[in-house]
Amino acid sequence: MKKILITGAAGNLGGLLAKYLKDSDLNLNLMTYRNEVQDRLKV
């Protein structure tokens, strides 16, 4: 299984990318700074 780190996952582009990849066979690591990740992306 491949690991993917998405920086800025609480932002517009990072959030869209995370949403697109969340159902794939990848191990996603989401990194944020000030804002929380959207509820639909939380495990």
* CA triple 24-26-30, angle to 5 deg: 105
Q: Where are the domains of the chain?
A: 2-41
Q: What integer is the mean pLDDT of 2-14?
A: 92
What are the pLDDT digits (tens) for 18-31?
Answer: 999 999 999 999 98
**pLDDT of 42 strictly over 80:** no
Residue with the bigger pLDDT between 24 and 32: it is: 24
Question: Is it the case that residue 36 has pLDDT exceeding 90?
Answer: no
pTM of the model as a whole: 0.74
Q: What whole-number distance in Å separates Cα of residue 18 and Cα of residue 3? A: 13
Task: Give the Cα separation of 22 and 14 in Å (integer).
Answer: 12
The per-residue pLDDT for 43 is: 65
